[in-house]
Amino acid sequence: KKAADKSFNMVVVDGDTSPNDSMIVLANGLAENEIILSEEHPDYPAFFEALVACATDLAKMIAHDGEGATKFLEVNVTGAATWEDAKTAAMAIAKSPLVKTAFFGEDPNWGRIVCAAGYSGAAMEADKVNLSIGGIRLVENGMNCNVPAEKLAPTMAEHDISMSIDLGAGEESATVWTCDFSYEYVKINGEYHT
């Protein structure tokens, strides 16, 4: 569960969860290593770190392979009052149809990102919010940096795009991975019949 919380539970494609979504870890014993039965075992930290790394790579593949996805999006939230607030804000951004369609349209609409963080319910200091897309600062201390759209065009045309928002309310952070909503997403799901 702890590994899933740091990996698969930090991915969202469209906000819906399938009832059969699950993470199963199996071991066949062929390595003949000593069995780790508790967190106190000296090999537990190394095993857990490797499990999280593997699970994170697989989780990111889910977002990369989202239905009709043309963009892989990494949402980094920092400056949150609690880890729960950081995850809540990151998930709100990652699930927002307006954010997802803006990235599909290669529109650096920072207002949609800040709006999603704002309505998430996470603590946020509006006059301390900073936002960057692809390392380019768009909002500083709650104010528009007036970055020309052409400066962001190459970043928005990339397949993998990272955005970072500092909520200005604390020291906690979280990262969520998602993808955009494309015409193909609507086509796939609109043509699917049970």
For residue 37, CA distances in Å to 41, 42, 152 come to: 7, 11, 50
In a domain, 193, yes or no: no
Phi, psi (degrees; rounded to nearest 5) at 90: -65, -40
One domain, residues 99 and 168: yes
Per-residue pLDDT of the chain (194 residues; tens, 9 = 90+): 999 999 999 999 988 877 778 889 998 989 898 999 999 999 999 999 999 999 999 999 999 999 899 999 999 999 999 999 999 999 999 999 999 999 999 999 999 999 999 999 999 999 999 999 999 999 999 999 999 989 999 999 999 999 999 999 999 999 999 999 999 988 988 887 77
One domain, residues 77 and 166: yes
Per DSSP bridges, beta strands 130-133 and 160-166 are antiparallel
One domain, residues 47 and 6: yes
**Which residue type occupies 70?**
T
One domain, residues 162 and 79: yes
Strand order through the sheet with 136-140: 143-144, 136-140, 130-133, 160-166, 72-80, 172-179
Total domains in the chain come to: 2
One domain, residues 171 and 145: yes
One domain, residues 16 and 88: no
Q: Using CA atoms, how far apart are residues 43 and 35, in angstroms rounded to an integer?
A: 9
One domain, residues 10 and 44: yes
- The last residue of a domain, from among 46, 64, 82: 64
- The last residue of a domain, from among 45, 64, 83: 64
Q: What is the full DSSP assignment across 82-137?
A: SHHHHHHHHHHHHH-HHHHHHHHTT---HHHHHHHHHHTT----GGG-EEEETTEE
One domain, residues 138 and 46: no
One domain, residues 28 and 84: no
One domain, residues 81 and 49: no
- The last residue of a domain, from among 64, 93, 115: 64
CATH of the domain at 57: 3.30.2330.10
Domain that holds residue 103: 72-188
Q: What is the pLDDT of residue 18?
A: 74
Please state the pTM of the whole predicted model.
0.92
Least Cα distance to 23 among 38, 8, 39 occurs for 8
CATH of the domain at 178: 3.10.20.340
One domain, residues 145 and 97: yes
One domain, residues 37 and 77: no
In a domain, 85, yes or no: yes
In a domain, 194, yes or no: no
Q: How many CB atoms lie within 10 A of CB 176?
A: 24
| Residue 5 exposure: Cα atoms within 13 Å on the Cβ side | 6
